[in-house]
Amino acid sequence: MADTSDRADTRNPAQIEADIRRRREVLAETLDEIGVRVHPKTLVGDAKARAVANLDHTVGRAYVQVNRVVTQVKGQFLDEEGSPRMERVVPAALLAVGVVGLLVAGSRRRRR
């Protein structure tokens, strides 16, 4: 940036006024931009956008994890051709029926 003391000697009043006018316009634009940035609606909107982005990221990671677990469980109960592995399906089904039976019996005892 040039030294303003050298320029001040060579500029006429009209040039100085034009320079002042340009600087005021730039300053006004800067102040308007700052006003928009610190406006409560802008701050709330930015916070919402960050929260949604974080939520999307978290949901995406959860989906990947759930998908991985489901794939692992499928691998335990299905063979390479996709047929059920009866040696694993039957015990799991019996266990599920037993747990449901215990829950039903427990809820009936509480009602009495």
Q: For residues 77-85, give the mean pLDDT.
A: 86
Split at pLDDT 50, 70, 90, the class of 20 is very high
Q: For residues 104-109, give the mean pLDDT.
A: 85
Q: What is the pTM of this model?
A: 0.46
More confident residue, 54 or 4: 54
- State how far the Cα of 75 lies from the Cα of 68, in Å rounded to an integer: 11
Closest CA to 77 of 61, 62, 60, 96: 96
| pLDDT (0 to 100) of residue 79 | 85
- State how far the Cα of 49 lies from the Cα of 39, in Å rounded to an integer: 15
| pLDDT (0 to 100) of residue 44 | 93
